[in-house]
Structures are given as C-alpha cells and as structure tokens.
Chains A and B, each alone.
Chain A
Amino acid sequence: MNTEEYISSGKLELYVAGLLSEKENIQIHNDAKQYPELNKEIEAIEASILALSKAASPTMADGSFNNIKHKLNLAKETKVLQLPKQKANWTAYSGWAAAVIISAGLFWMYTQNQNLESQIQIVSQEKINLESQIENASNSLVESELLLNTIRDKNIAVVALGGQTISPTSYAKAYWNKVEKKVHIDAKGLPEPPDGFVYQVWSLKLNPLTPTSIGLLEDFKGDENKIFAFANPNESEAFGITLEPAGGSKSPNLEQLYTLGVAST
C-alpha cells in the first residue's frame, strides 16, 4: 500500500471529521492498526482540531465535572432523599392505642387477681385459726362437763380448806371420792407460788398428826382451771396444802401451811 497517497488523499481528515461511510471508517481503522504512519497522521489531524476547538472554549467553571458526577449519581457522597411526609395512619394509631389499653387492663386484672388470692389466703388462715379455736373451746367444754360430772358424783365429799396464818385470804377445796379413792383439789384460791417453790397436798390423820403426801400442784401457773386430780388411797381426816421447795418434801413445812380443812366423817 502506498501510504503517502493514502495520506494525501484527504480521506483521513474526513475520517476525523466523521464524514465517511461506516464501511470506509472500518477500513481506515483497520489500516491504521496495520500502518503506524497512518495512525500517526490521524492523530496529528485530530490534534490540530483539538487545539482549535480548545481555543474556542469558554472559560470552564470550576468543579464542572462534579456537576456531571452529581447528575449521574457518580458522586461518592450518599444522596439524601427527602422522604415523603407520611400521612397520619389512624388505623395504626388506634391499633397501638388499643394494644396499650388492653395491656394496661390485663395488668390491672392481674394485680386484682393477686390481691384477691392473697385475701383468700388470709381468710383461709383466719378460718383455720377459728376452727382450732372452736375445737379448743369444745375440748374445754368436754373437760368442763367431765369435771362437773366428777364433782356432782354422789360419792363426793367436799372439804373446804381455809386460809392459815401465812396467807389468811387463801382458800381451796377438795372433792374427795372415797369409793374411787380420788381427790380433786380446786386451788383457785391460792396465790401463785414464787419461783423455785411448789404447792404440796397432804392427807392428814389428826390423832396423832400424820401427814401423807398425795401430790404436787405442778405447773400451777400454766393450769387454767387450777383443778388438780390425785389418787388418794388414805383414810384422810383432813387435807392441807403447804408451799415446799420445787420437787416437794417428805414432810410438810407447817410454817408454810397455806390452807387446811377437816373432812367431815
């Protein structure tokens, strides 16, 4: 190929101007690849047009490429989208409101239930207490009836024990069933014994004076009705109650004789 002729034909100038047919363009493109001098010529023509067009350019504003990047969303900074103002969604609002009200209601009902349950517990505890009180009452009623029957027995002899020098206001009673050989001492009229001391009940023969212990009024303070039952196999002529050291004594301390009473024969 005669490249000189090719160059001087004026075709390459038209190629740069973009005025050739597609077929011619492809031809020149391929030829330029093959012949570097053709390519060089094309670049020189282009350079002259570039220089001329550049001279005609307006003064370019700064950051003009940033504008393009912005238009193409190529800018790295994230574009802030203005979200459309949402319309008030009343269905959603009322839904939430209902949910809140229901939750509050559920909580209120829960606390109410808790209160009721604890009240039930208190009441049932009270009920248990009352039941046991009733039981105790009926128990004591049975005891009282038993006691009353004992005292009313026809074989009972009642012996009144009067207060003695050391305690004139004291008194006691002995209910003696000679057949059953039992004696009940009603010690309600005795003062509480001091700590470390206990009342001791004695069966007495008078001539000569022979005391026989029939028992101690143990747990005097704790005994509610202050009635104590003893076995008494003796042919008693009198009964006496003395204050003795805890555990009792073998013979009575007559200086601490609180009550004394003679049995009628």
Chain B
Amino acid sequence: MTEQKSPCCTESNPGFIELDAYIDSLKIDPIDPERKEKLIMTLHKAQSIFGYLPAEVQKFIANRFAVSHAHVSGVISFYNYFTTTPKGKTKISICMGTACYVNGANKILQDFENALGIKAGQVTPDGRFSIETLRCVGACVLAPVVLVNDHVYGKVKQGQAEKIIEEYLVEYGEKVEEQ
C-alpha cells in the first residue's frame, strides 16, 4: 500500500505547518455540527499556500475537521475556484463574461491557445504558463480583458497574445528574438 505523493506534499513541506496553525486559530470543535461553515475558507487558505489542493492536503483538512475525505473532495469538485492540479507559474486568464464575449474574447482565447500550444485548463509542459477562462472580472469597459497573474490587460486585440507572452518570457530570463 504505497501511495504516490505529489512533490509538494512531503511531510517536510512547511505549508502544512502554516495550514495547521491556521486551522488551530479557527478553534474547530469536532462535535459541533456548525464547524463545517469554516471549511470553504480553509480550502481557500490551503489553495493559497499550496497553489492547488492535492489528495494529501484534502485528507489533512478532512482529518482536522472530522469530516470524510469524500466530503472535502465533493466540495472541491463542485466549485470552479478550487483545483486539484497545479497551475502554471504564469497564469493567463481570459475573461469570458458576456461583455468580453461580444467583443471577441473567444478569438483572443484561440490566440493564446495557438501561441502556447495548450488548451484552456491546461499547463505548458515546462510548467511556466497555464490558460484559464473566467467569468466576468467586472472591468467590462476594458473588454476583452486578459489577466496575467494579477495584471490586467484591457481591450486586447487579435495578434497581441504573443507580445503579452513575450513580456513574461523575459522575466524567465529568456532572450526573445527580435522579429
């Protein structure tokens, strides 16, 4: 019964200490039926620590909340915000709200997908980039909107995707050939 552990989650990962301390601060009473109201905030915290929610983290949380692993996993799979696979270092999110959609967001998405050779929801093999679609960031005046990590690119035009990606390649210390 050996289980493959994700690289992030060896016992020595300091993330667990942080998560443990966070859950301590919530003062969970294992027999109080209302304890579960803090579960979703805990999952948010855990995802901010680990970047995603692998099985080890889920089991850890389930234990501390005295609920089943199935319950935790069920909650995670229900909400779009939680992910059980790691994201790229540079997260490219394309807004697919209605305002962005009528202003051509699907074409912008295609541009990014073509440029990186991955589809929405995937990560490049080197782990540098991932593409996601999201629902309305509320910056409709800038439609179509692309978020790279927390940076907002507004009124993105077709053909701009590669330029935006290049900005981040530079950050990885990669030389971008002049065209």
Is B truly associated with A?
Answer: no
| B binding-site residues for A, Cβ under 8 Å | none
